[in-house]
Amino acid sequence: MTSRPTLVTGAAGFAGRHLVAHLRATAPERPLLAWVRSQVDITDRDAVRSAMAEARPDRIVHLAGSPHVGDSWRSSLLPLQTNVLGTHYLLEAVRQHCPDCRVVVVTSAMIYRNSDAALHQDAPLEPSSPYGLSKLAQDQLALVAARNDGLNVVVARPFNHIGPHQSSSFALSSFARQIALVEAGLMPPELRVGNLAAERDFTDVRDMADAYARLLDAGQAGRAYNICSDTPHRIADLLNRLIFIANVPVTLATDPARLRPSDQPRIVGNSARIRTELGWRPKWSIDDTLTDLLNWWRAEVAAGRATA
């Protein structure tokens, strides 16, 4: 008898592609189904119902969504549609077609209230951006589905994550891309930057993929788990590390387009719950992550897939 598949939504996205690779490497015997937007539009209720009825997975990691905080200030409609309605349609289809399915819904640390203290899962929820608001609604939809409907839903609350394949719309990936272009002589040695004073808690995306897989296997239904390194880094310091790795002379220029209407000065998490309950620990050092990110952009530039 063929076992039911594991489904990853948003499988072509940054975290999605790493999770798919991780699952294929660690559980090759399990059937794996990867949804991408061109196949199943998560905002199309009928399409989600139909695809779920056909697939009937026994495990889902829901990553499909609008991922960018900055973009949400320009248009709040997309994150509300994708993150909120998309999650509602997914959970609705699970109720109808595979109510025994284990579901990991990936939300965000951006749902928490601004604080200089390390954020734990019981910290006050008060998002400061349209993106954060959409992720809070998604988060609560998932917890209500577990509490009121008895669905086997676990919530993952990732903090910032970086690594190869990340879009250059995110700060560190943008810096790495620009440095790779400077190295190749394709742009002047001036990096366009935003707010470098902010402090963020960064985790390698490959460690994130491992955390999602552990939650899929053993997370407690109706429970939220922070995923983070527990270590804040100033953006300026990480940029300096990238420049040191590259060893190219550059100057910095503030780009007003990279500044947000509201930008939390410090975000750091507390991941004691997932460490204690599931034995998860980050394996990748920040320097190794930055090196791999820069090397990936070097390869993209060399292949002509990244231009100035």
| Whether 211 and 191 share a structural domain | no
Domain presence at residue 16: yes
Is residue 307 assigned to a domain? Answer: no
Domain shared by 155 and 12, yes or no:
yes
Q: Which residue type sits at 174?
A: S
Cβ-count burial of 46 within 10 angstroms (0-12 exposed, 13-18 middle, 19+ buried)? Answer: exposed
Q: Quick one: which of 58, 42, 46 has its CA closest to 7?
A: 58
Q: What is the CATH number of the domain that holds 91?
A: 3.40.50.720
Distance separating alpha carbons of residues 263 and 175, to the nearest angstrom: 18
- The answer on 84 and 185 residing in a single domain is no
Closest CA to 105 of 70, 75, 135: 135
Measured N-to-C along each axis, helices 45-55 and 86-97 cross at an angle, to the nearest 10 degrees, of 40
CA within 13 Å, CB half, 130: 17
In a domain? residue 249: yes
Let me know if residue 34 belongs to a domain.
Answer: yes
84 and 177, same domain (yes or no): no
For residue 223, how many other CB atoms are within 10 A of its CB? 16
Instruction: For residue 161, give both structure tokens.
Output: 């994550």
Residues 48, 142: one domain? yes
Indicate if 35 and 135 belong to the same structural domain.
Answer: yes
- Least Cα distance to 214 among 102, 137, 76, 290 occurs for 102
Specify whether the CB–CB gap between 118 and 226 falls below 8 A. no
- Phi then psi for residue 37, to 5 deg, are -60, -35
Q: How far apart are CA 264 and CA 203, in angstroms?
A: 18
CATH number, residue 250: 3.90.25.10
Is residue 192 in some structural domain? yes
Burial class (CB in 10 A: 0-12, 13-18, 19+), 293: buried
Q: Decide if 103 contacts 60 (C-beta within 8 A).
A: yes
Sequence-ordered list of residues with C-beta below 8 angstroms from that of 54, at least 6 positions apart, any chain: none
Query: Do 190 and 207 lie in a common domain?
Result: no
Residues 79 and 145 in one domain: yes
Question: How many structural domains are present in the chain?
Answer: 2
Residue 26 and residue 66 in one domain = yes
- Report how far residue 275's alpha carbon sits from residue 3's, in angstroms, rounded to the nearest whole number: 30
Nearest alpha-carbon partner for 94 in 154, 22, 134: 154
Asked if residue 279 is part of any domain, the answer here is: no
DSSP reduced 3-state for 308 = coil
pTM: 0.95
Please give the pLDDT value at position 191: 97
Give yes or no for a contact between 118 and 269, defined as CB atoms under 8 angstroms apart: yes
Does one domain contain both 236 and 98?
no
pLDDT attached to residue 1: 44
Residues 207 and 136 grouped into a single domain: yes
CB distance 229 to 162 below 8 Å: no
Domain shared by 47 and 191, yes or no:
no
Type of residue numbered 226: N
Structural domain of 152: 6-162+202-227
118 domain residue, yes or no: yes
From first to last of its 308 residues, the chain has per-residue pLDDT tens of: 458 999 999 999 999 999 999 999 999 999 999 999 999 999 999 999 999 999 999 999 999 998 666 565 566 788 889 999 999 999 999 999 999 999 999 999 999 999 999 999 999 999 988 899 999 999 999 999 999 999 999 999 999 999 999 999 999 999 999 999 999 999 999 999 999 999 999 999 999 999 999 999 999 999 999 999 999 999 999 999 999 999 899 999 999 888 876 678 999 999 999 999 999 999 999 999 999 999 999 999 999 999 98
The reply to whether 35 falls in a domain is: yes
Burial call 107-146: b when 16+ CB within 10 Å, e when fewer: bbbbbbeeeeebbebebeeebbbbbbbbbbbbbbbbbebb
